[in-house]
Amino acid sequence: MATAQLKTPKSVPTFLKGKTVLVTGGTGTFGQAFVKRLLKDNHAKKIIIFSRDEFKQHQMQQHLPDPHKKLRFFIGDIRDRERLERAFTDVDVVVHAAALKQVPATEYNPTEAIKTNINGSQNVIDAALDAGVGKVLLVSSDKAVQPINLYGATKLAAEKLFVAANVYRNKRQNTAFSVVRYGNVVGSRGSFIELLRSQKETGTITLTHEKMTRFWITIENVMDVVLQNLALMQGGEIFVPKMGNMPVYDVVKMLTPDCKVKVTGVRPGEKLHEVLITEYEAPRAHDIGYAYVIKPEFLKTSDTAWVDRYPRVNSDFIFASNNSVFQLKEDHARKILVL
């Protein structure tokens, strides 16, 4: 299955026009790409980068063109609710991308992952409610689905917190919370494609297991998806973009055909295959064209009634990286998987 070719709908510019957008973790791979996209589209009134890394903020200030003077930089940690409350003042949209993401690091430092990924996400929710932010979108991961590592477990908890946060909405605090969940981003910091680039010159590529499979998506498609989700979300939805999968071994042989492959063994907390939608979520999942949308299980609200206009997926539907139905064709894979 080819990854859907996404286009930003006309509603996105209208939605973001004149609004202030804040990105937590704004100096990370996602944050930098999202800020660049917002600057390019030139619809948001103000763009706030919230992160704890002052050096990366300095780099962004030096390298990002900002002719309209829209960028603002806040040094802060999502563990600090008071700082979030100050940063969220007069903010219309928050994209929450800040997290500890490295699986081995979070396995070794579990309490730190909990403080950032779970407690920090709750701080984002509380600060957004108190500040009256309009929409808050959590950037999640395929590792949140049926997790076997701590990183995935913390992202699952963050997803649950975000969906449940919609019960605290009222006429005065009409903040909507939703989730976007996707797989491997091609070329992101620490990604497998980045590893291939660094190992290619050695002539040997390390692979943890020959049968491992993953979903693949480009950062450009991620930006399209997030913008569409922000325009559509009403609160409680989990958006899952349509993505193609491919065995990691096939990616290695396609991109580095002359290199040897050294199998090192599965790392702690690593899966052979990833899942984006389980059989338990399928009864609540609808196909909206560019993505699947999972309706909340327990929220009694009409906010997600818009999803019912779209067809349900089959009851036995499982969106997994070892499902050949969704496997990338080689010609399309070569277009998106580039060294």
Which residue in the list 101, 135, 143, 271 is annotated as catalytic?
143
Q: Per the domain annotation, does 100 fall within a domain?
A: yes
> pTM for the complete prediction?
0.92
Per DSSP, the three-state class of 51 is strand
* Nearest Cα residue to 92 out of 255, 284, 231: 231
Q: Per the domain annotation, does 128 fall within a domain?
A: yes
Counting Cβ atoms within 10 Å, is residue 218 exposed (0-12), middle (13-18) or buried (19+)? buried
Per DSSP, the three-state class of 283 is helix
Per DSSP, the three-state class of 316 is coil
Q: Per the domain annotation, does 338 fall within a domain?
A: no
Q: Per the domain annotation, does 200 fall within a domain?
A: no
Q: Which domain holds residue 116?
A: 11-183+218-243+275-319
Q: Per the domain annotation, does 334 fall within a domain?
A: no
CATH of the domain at 85: 3.40.50.720
Q: Per the domain annotation, does 96 fall within a domain?
A: yes
For residues 296 and 210, what is the distance between their CA atoms, to the nearest angstrom?
Answer: 36
Is residue 7 flagged as an active site residue?
Answer: no
Query: How many structural domains does the chain have?
Result: 1
- Tens-digit pLDDT string for the chain (339 aa): 334 434 445 556 678 999 999 999 999 999 999 999 999 998 999 999 999 999 999 999 999 989 889 999 999 999 999 999 999 999 999 999 999 998 889 999 999 999 999 999 999 999 999 999 999 999 999 999 999 999 999 999 999 999 999 998 876 678 999 999 998 888 677 678 888 888 988 999 999 999 999 999 999 999 999 999 999 999 999 999 999 999 999 999 998 998 999 999 988 888 999 999 999 999 999 999 999 999 998 876 667 889 999 999 998 899 999 999 999 988 888 888 877
Q: Per the domain annotation, does 79 fall within a domain?
A: yes
Q: Per the domain annotation, does 281 fall within a domain?
A: yes
